[in-house]
Amino acid sequence: MDPLTSLVTALAAGAAAALKPTVEQAVKDGYAALKGLIQRKYPQVPVDLIEPQPVSETRRAVVKEDLAKTAAATDAELLTQAKALLDALQHQAPETIVAIGVDLQAIKAASLTIDDIIATGTGVKVTQAEVSGDVTIRGVRAGGPGGAPPNA
């Protein structure tokens, strides 16, 4: 995943998780730290845009576009904070990352395997991909009724 996609995914997943009353405080703190860091370093980026609808591809695209106009993609402190949040989400609220789904853009790979995705929004979206070997996508269930994850 490219750095900007990682940042936006962390923001969206963090925003979605922070809305849940049962999510661990570490996830809420990680999201607040990432959001605050972006707001301090890159105040022109509207990170608050994601909070009302974290699964909205349109909102995430606007934030990603604005981040692309900054040095965020090479900002080691910011990328470390995003990774820490994604790690916390993976361990403490993995269903939140699943709700965001998989969105890959401009990838080059020898092989691509996407295994078992359950998402409330887009399950898997791949654009501008160059894959020279096997491509396997399995078990994708997306867009359940009322925005709920579909049954596994």
Phi, psi of 126 (to 5 degrees): -125, 125
Task: Please tell me whether residues 94 and 141 are part of one structural domain.
Answer: no
Domain that holds residue 137: 101-152
Minimal CA–CA distance to 54: which of 15, 8, 24, 101?
Answer: 15
Task: Please tell me whether residues 110 and 90 are part of one structural domain.
Answer: no
pTM of the entire predicted model: 0.64
pLDDT digits (tens, 9 = 90+) for 66-125: 999 999 999 999 999 998 988 888 777 666 655 555 555 556 666 666 655 555 555 566
Task: Please tell me whether residues 136 and 87 are part of one structural domain.
Answer: no
| Domain count within the chain | 2
Six-digit token string for 56: 């909205």
**∠ at Cα 95 (91, 99), nearest 5°?**
135
pLDDT higher than threshold 80 for residue 132: no
